[in-house]
Structure 1
């Protein structure tokens, strides 16, 4: 079970205005259109990567599942402005724990979409089965995806 990392609307990756995400080239997943500037851990795990510009983070669950959480599209261009990380690489996190706070207005004012892909990053290495659950989502609660290995 993958909880929502954001409060907002969970939608298909096809709605992401970036071909690599929309066509699943980065891996399967879902996206959330955030209503507030706080991203939380959608799974219990370890922070294995925090992008230098703080717009994306990767968490690994004990099962081996790796999730990439990418705030907005082309937000790397902001060079970290408007993003405040609340975790470090190697840190253990639990569902609902704040990972990154971000300024929604700064991102949209700079002309970038805030839609946030949630990607199964290691789908090429393991045959994860991914089932999305679209609709309204609350940060740290509910389920936006069910991810499992085939039996």
Structure 2
């Protein structure tokens, strides 16, 4: 399934946005995601986090522009126009929302570190799904966003996993 969020807005500024980790775990390259669309960057540039706990937090201040019905993914838009897709695990849409508890809804304003979705990490693993979670610049096709990742151990709501900007 390919996610595309259409937005007629163009980016408002050329600022650099620091994207903090939405999860506690290990930040890795998208190439490690066991899904071609994510791994090859077809969904957009970004990073992935292998979570150690089941709490997804806001990596930027912004607006929840889309909470996926099965609660396994959410999209947030920053005031600059940057849109991030946070997709918990691979093929987790098949769980039909089981094990996912949203703490926000579409239209909510969120701040960095605010809990977006709580999820049962063990249930996802037990169901046979990878828990690796892509963090994608969702509107890279509409805007020439540049992303600069930082890999390694991360804590939810702290530390930059990616800096994103529009070229000047």
Alignment pair present for 1:103 and 2:125: no
Partner of 2:93: 76
Separation (CA, whole Å) in 2 of partners of 1:53 and 1:59: 16
Per the TM alignment, residue 40 of structure 1 is displaced from its structure 2 partner at its CA by: 0.1
Separation (CA, whole Å) in 2 of partners of 1:95 and 1:131: 19
- Corresponding residue to 1:16 among 33, 37, 45: 33
Partner of 1:7: 24
Question: Secondary structure of the equivalent of 2:19?
Answer: coil
Per the TM alignment, residue 99 of structure 1 is displaced from its structure 2 partner at its CA by: 0.1
1:23-50 Cα distance to aligned partner (Å, 9 max, x none): 0000000000000000000000000000
Per the TM alignment, residue 7 of structure 1 is displaced from its structure 2 partner at its CA by: 0.2
- Which TM-score applies when normalising by structure 1? 1.00
Question: Secondary structure of the equivalent of 1:2?
Answer: strand
Separation (CA, whole Å) in 1 of partners of 2:37 and 2:47: 13
How large is the Cα RMSD of the aligned pairs?
A: 0.3
Alignment pair present for 1:130 and 2:147: yes
User: How many aligned positions are there?
Assistant: 151
- Mark the runs of 5 or more structure 2 residues left unpaired by the alignment: 1-17
Partner of 2:55: 38
Alignment pair present for 1:92 and 2:109: yes
Question: Secondary structure of the equivalent of 1:14?
Answer: helix
Partner of 1:26: 43
Per the TM alignment, residue 76 of structure 1 is displaced from its structure 2 partner at its CA by: 0.1
Partner of 1:64: 81
Separation (CA, whole Å) in 1 of partners of 2:31 and 2:126: 24
- Mark the runs of 5 or more structure 1 residues left unpaired by the alignment: none
Question: Secondary structure of the equivalent of 1:107?
Answer: helix
Separation (CA, whole Å) in 1 of partners of 2:105 and 2:128: 28
Ranges of 4+ aligned residues in structure 1 off by more than 2 Å: none
